Structures are given as structure tokens and as C-alpha cells.
Amino acid sequence: MRMPARSGKRPSAARAAPGRATTDPYARVTSQVVDSLTELLTQLLRFEGPADAIMSRHFKADRQLGSRDRSMVAEAAFDALRHLASLRWMMQTADPVRAPRLAALIVLARQYGVESIAPRALRGDERAIKGALETKLGHAPAAVQAEVPQWLLEKVVAQYADANELFAALAMPAPLDLRVNTLKADRAGVLTELCSATRLHAPLPARATPYSPDAIRLQEKPALTRWPLYQDGLIEVQDEGSQLIARLVAPKRGEMIVDFCAGAGGKTLALGALMRSTGRIYAFDIHARRLAGLGPRLSRSGLSNVHPAAIASENDLRVKRLSGKIDRVLVDAPCSGTGTLRRNPDLKWRFDESELERLNGVQLAVLAGAARMLKPGGRLVYSTCSVLEQENQGIIAQFLAAHPDFTVVEAAPILAAQDIIIDHAARFAPWFVMLPHLHASDGFFAAVLERRR
């Protein structure tokens, strides 16, 4: 999820300490910002759709806001979603849904200080705002302090000894990770370009990430789509953990590969680059609209070995025709997205246990359908962007019980053979696990399976 871009020439107002007046001259919170955020929170807190889509519609309709104010509203809205549990606790008898303007003022005051809000925008709410900011969270319930619903708290605490550190990391904003398209560029050259001033941007604090050989991390959220680097296909937006899942597939040149839940194709493009545009990659997905997003990216990438196709289900005729013919299959299964809460904080409030149970059935069915395509001796990688065992190890255990011709392959040696050493790999072996508090990436899980010959 990307927020509207800020101009690189303006300092970030969001760096001000919560509850304090900022010295940033651009951080003055106008009445227009308060009004816009109030309206946006009114829409977002209904949880009737993805936050990024709701924000996009909101900003298209609100033409009066300048780019700086849009950025301020977007950052505040994401902050409200990330810290909605504590916001509710701070508001005490009020409720963000019923009092969206007060919620907006508290969020903005928490970010920039009450003194930064235009007096006429306050409308006499100073006492309520200051009271909220002075609320101590030390006595709040554990779920409030973790900024998650109770059901998610219980599952994560039962699974991770360092659950508090994980929750804290998931409540923070995420950086922007890029993947260098090695068909067209190398990481060193792209880093040099990003760190140099051009007519489109000021120098950016870009750096190589610690694990993926092709990844670059930016703390800023620039307007990438205007850059020649992006337009010419030299870079793509992709989290480092996602890039490493493609490395677990480890496709060889000339092989037949299936990306079974391709979506908009981020991992498909990474696989194609690893294959140097040889062989054949089938990019399957049941959502034709999502798959359509792969088209422009594919054109920019320079790849010629990718063949997208929308399918009806895991039992589609096109899937059955490939039975026993595929060298490697990636199943990037639909999941709760709990590993991406840094980018998609609304998910934790839109998702519940009943939806998790429904998804478990989908995950198992998709995995079983994809497995039929694999050759004896072939490799299957099952991945999610979830931190929950119920979607990860639990699904693999059920699949293996029903498919004795499959065995687990340890993930770490596959990456080590590519000179990629993941911290804490032994803790999670034989699985691949990335977590924001341990690896500064989104949360990912992957299991590598092999079909016995």
C-alpha cells in the first residue's frame, strides 16, 4: 500500500513527537485537513472495503486539498488504523465511529501537537483532546496495547514468545522495498541513480537490503510512477520477503513453472528474471481483474516467457491439462494478510476468525489442486503473507497427511546455495519465515515441498 507522494523538498511533519508542537513550518494543520480527515475516517471506519481503495476515491472527490495536505491526511488516516485500539481507549466514552471529528483531531494532535492545529478547527475540543493525549495505556487491556483485536492477540501470543515485539513492529509504518530487474539493470547502478539528484527527485536515502540480492529499501514514499527507472522497467515495488520466496522456487532456465495465485504478478516477474526470460511461466489466478494488473508490468519488464491466464478454480481444464508436466509450482495462497499489517492496517479490523476458517478450506483446496500439476521430483512452494500457524504449518500438516508422495525440503539451504543467509533461520526450520521485528520485512511463511520420484 502506497500513500500519496510527498515532495522530497519538504521535511516530514510526521517525525514530530506525539503530543508536542512541531517546529516544521509545513506541519500546520489547517481546517481543510481536519475536515478531510473527518470525512475519510467516517468512510474508513465502516470497514466496507480496502483502505487504499477508499482513500483513492476520497482524494479524487476532494479536489481542494493540495499535495501536502493530502499527504498529511493519508498519514493520519493510516495512523488511526494502526492505532485504532488505543484511539478508542483514549476517547473513553466517545467512539471514533460516532465522533469522527474528535478522532481526527486526536490523531492529528498525537502526530503534530495540539498547538499545530488551526484554532478555528478545534471548535472548543481542546480539553477533550488533551485529556485523550494524557490517557495512560499501561492499564489498558493487552489487546489495546498490542493494537489488535482480541482473537488475533490470543493466536499470536500462543505462537510467539516474542509476541510483544512482533505487535510493536506490525504497528509501525513500513518502508518501501524495490526489486531491481536484473534483465535491465544491477543494484549498484540503481542505487547510484536513486542517491543522486535528478530533475524528478532530490537524493533519496536508498540502501541495499540485508537479504535479497536484488532489493533496495527506501524510507520515503516517492512518486515512483513518474521515474524513468520505473517506466522503463528497471525497478518494481516488492517487499524483500516476497522476493526471497521467488528465490525458494529457484527456477532453472528452460523449465516450466506455474505461479498458481499470481495476482498482479510481483512474484511472477521475479521468477521470470531469475529464469532470464527462458522456459515458460504460467501465471494463473481466479481474479481476472487482478491479473490484468500484470499486463503493464510485464510490458515494462522485458520478459517474454510469461503467459497469464484467468482460471475458474483449481479444477479448471487448463490446470488439468498440465497434470504431471510442471517442474516447479508456486502457490502464493490467499490468506489473512496478518504479515502485512504495517502496510494494510485495516485488515486486522476487517478480518475475523470465521473468515480465517473459510480461508483455511480455500488454502487446502488450492494447494491440493496445484500439486497435481507437479512432475515427480518437482518442487512446490506454498507461501503466505500471514504470521499465523493455522494458515501455514497447519495447512502443510493437513496436506502431507493426505499426500504421502510429498516431502518437506528445508528452506535455508536453498537460499544458502544462492549466498542468502537469513537471520534466525534455525528457529523456524525447516520453514522459511520472515517477521518485521526480526528481519525488517513484512511477515512471510513458505514451505518447500518435493514430489517423490
**Which DSSP letter does residue 226 get?**
G
C-alpha cell at 353: 476468525
What is residue 442's three-state secondary structure? coil
Inter-residue contact 96 to 84 (CB < 8 Å): yes
DSSP string, 310-345: E-SSTT-HHHHTTTTTEEEEEEE-----GGGTTT-T
The one catalytic residue among 195, 261, 335, 385 = 385
Q: Report CA dihedral (348, 352, 357, 361) to the nearest 10 degrees.
A: -50
Sign of the torsion angle spanned by Cα atoms 362, 364, 369, 371: positive
**Hey, is 302 helix, strand or coil?**
coil
Element at 138 (helix H, strand E): none
Our answer to whether residue 195 is catalytic in this structure is: no
What grid cell was written down for 451?
Answer: 514430489
Number of Cβ atoms within 10 Å of the Cβ of 39: 17
Cα angle value 155/103/119 (rounded, 5°): 150
Distances (CA, A) of 98 to 41, 345, 433: 10, 20, 40
Distances (CA, A) of 427 to 200, 343, 391, 434: 44, 26, 19, 11
Rounded CA-CA distance 224/226 in Å is: 5
Cell 512474484, residue located: 267
Q: What's the rounded Cα separation, in Å, for the pair 38 and 44? A: 10
CB 323 within 8 A of CB 282: no
Q: In whole angstroms, what is the distance from residue 310 CA to residue 316 CA? A: 10
Which residues of 93-240 form beta strands (DSSP E)? 176-180, 207-208, 215-218, 235-237
Q: Catalogue the active-site residues.
A: 385
